[in-house]
């Protein structure tokens, strides 16, 4: 199997940074185009961070775009093509939509534990992406499993 287009959704967490190592390694190995996305979900920012106005939400979006620009700058010298964008909406729907529109061969997504209540209320984004994605998904857990290329 050849991977020409890899989609890497990130939430800019340590878990996503760990999954990014896989995305970068596979994109490098296959000379694949790496498309990095972050999906901003208004509901999540209201609940998690108390964002309660459109002005505050726009400020959050601006910060997320700066974080994406920083990540893309870090990958600028990579031996493969890299693009990125910040999207808005439901993370699962937007990740799957991006994979379809980009004709992605693989999605690489980090997993991280939610509290029991969060899992019951929100479920796992990675789990839902695995079930609904139009292409294979590599779900990456945090260490104790160090990454080694075969």
Helices (H), 31-149: 42-49, 54-74, 91-101, 116-122, 125-132
How far is Cα 23 from Cα 140, in angstroms, rounded to an integer?
10
Q: Look up the pTM and report it.
A: 0.84
Kindly list the domain boundaries of the chain, sorted by start residue. Answer: 27-140
pLDDT of residue 45: 52
Each residue's pLDDT expressed in tens, for the chain with a length of 150 residues: 789 999 999 999 888 999 999 999 999 999 999 999 999 986 555 555 555 566 777 888 899 999 999 999 999 999 999 999 999 999 999 999 999 999 999 999 998 755 555 555 445 888 899 999 999 999 998 776 555 665
pLDDT of residue 145: 54
CA torsion angle 17 138 143 19 (round to 10): -10
pLDDT of residue 118: 52
pLDDT of residue 112: 73
Task: Please confirm whether the linkage preceding 144 is cis (ω < 30° from 0).
Answer: yes
The CATH number given to 27-140 is: 3.40.50.620
């Amino acid at each position: 199997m050849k991977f020409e287009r890899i989609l890497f959704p990130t939430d800019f967490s340590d878990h996503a940074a760990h999954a990014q190592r896989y995305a970068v390694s596979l994109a490098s190995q296959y000379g694949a185009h790496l498309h990095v996305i972050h999906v901003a979900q208004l509901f999540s920012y209201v609940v998690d961070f108390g964002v309660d106005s459109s002005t505050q939400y726009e400020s959050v979006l601006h910060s997320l775009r700066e974080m994406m620009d920083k990540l893309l700058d870090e990958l600028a010298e990579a031996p493969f093509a890299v693009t990125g964008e910040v999207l808005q909406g439901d993370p699962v729907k937007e990740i799957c939509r991006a994979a379809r529109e980009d004709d992605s061969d693989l999605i690489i997504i980090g997993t991280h534990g939610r509290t029991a209540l969060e899992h019951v209320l929100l479920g796992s984004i990675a789990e839902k992406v695995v079930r609904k994605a139009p292409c294979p998904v590599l779900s990456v857990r945090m260490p104790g499993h160090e990454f080694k290329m075969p």
